A and B are shown apart, each in its own frame.
Chain A
Amino acid sequence: MIQKTLLALSEPRRREILALVQMREMTAGEIAAHFDITASAVSQHLRVLHDSGLVTVRRQGTKRYYRLRREGLIDIKAWIDGFWDDALWRLKTAAEEEERRREQERE
């Protein structure tokens, strides 16, 4: 999921869409009105954002309402957090192992 999320965020227009649906939900048509690209292109961006967990969609009648899924961004934060936690733990293990080895060599 994190790879999908990173890929989704790499496109500037998708980041603009996220900014639009941050405070309120919007239909695909309302979102498309903010861009000079085709409605189908906007629809494709929305699908990518939805697949990566960055927006939620609510169907009402024939319309789909999109809204930012804040948990999607929290997932990224958690991923960064975990990345450094893991790296630092490995650093601790490796450095302490080396220290013990040096001590043994000195004895």
Chain B
Amino acid sequence: MNRNGNEQEAVAKEIFIDCRRETLFSFLIDPQKMVRWMGRQVLLEPVEGGALRIRFNETDVVAGHYLEVKPHERVVFTWGWVGSDSCPPGSSIVVMDLQEDFMKDIMLTYETEDDFAARTDEARMERYWSEWRAFI
């Protein structure tokens, strides 16, 4: 249930990325790197309770704060659109897990929970990195 007492609906995402966990982790905490995959202007304070602000254009801005920052393993932050009634800041949670690959090296799991319009959507991303790099 979300904070409005409505049923949540999840969206799960999985993706395989051919890189070391440390490399990927830096794209979740470094504004200069995050801007390469999300938003145009990014301000990040990657510590527990630290702020997160992602500007996509003149009007669309996501704001939140980090709930958990575990180096190379897990990043959790709140998510929501500034000025939105249906999905305001704090209404969603994005969870990104980076895990070891059972095959060999690294498996990264990236989860996103996104509460939207009285629903919660969960995106989940997984990344495997094998010695053969055959997954990509």
User: Which of A11, A77, A84, A96 lies in contact with B112, CB distance below 8 A?
Assistant: A84
Per-residue A-contact encoding for B34-48, CB less than 8 Å = 1, 0 else = 001110000000000
Does B97 make an interface contact (CB < 8 A)?
A: no
Interface residues on chain A, number (Cβ under 8 Å): 26
Complex CA distance for A91 and B13, rounded to whole angstroms: 13
B interface secondary structure, majority: loop
Contact A77 B11, beta carbon cutoff 8 Å: yes
For A93, the chain B residues whose CB sits under 8 A away are 37
B interface, CB within 8 angstroms of A: 9, 11, 13, 15-20, 23-24, 26-27, 33, 36-38, 84-86, 110, 112, 114, 116-118, 121, 123, 125, 127, 136
Closest B residue by C-beta to A15: B118
Contact B85 A98, beta carbon cutoff 8 Å: no
Question: Given contacts A77-B9, A81-B11, A88-B15, could you give 13 more A-B pairs where the C-beta distance is less than 8 Å?
Answer: A6-B86, A9-B85, A76-B116, A84-B13, A84-B114, A88-B125, A91-B38, A92-B15, A92-B127, A93-B37, A94-B37, A95-B17, A99-B18
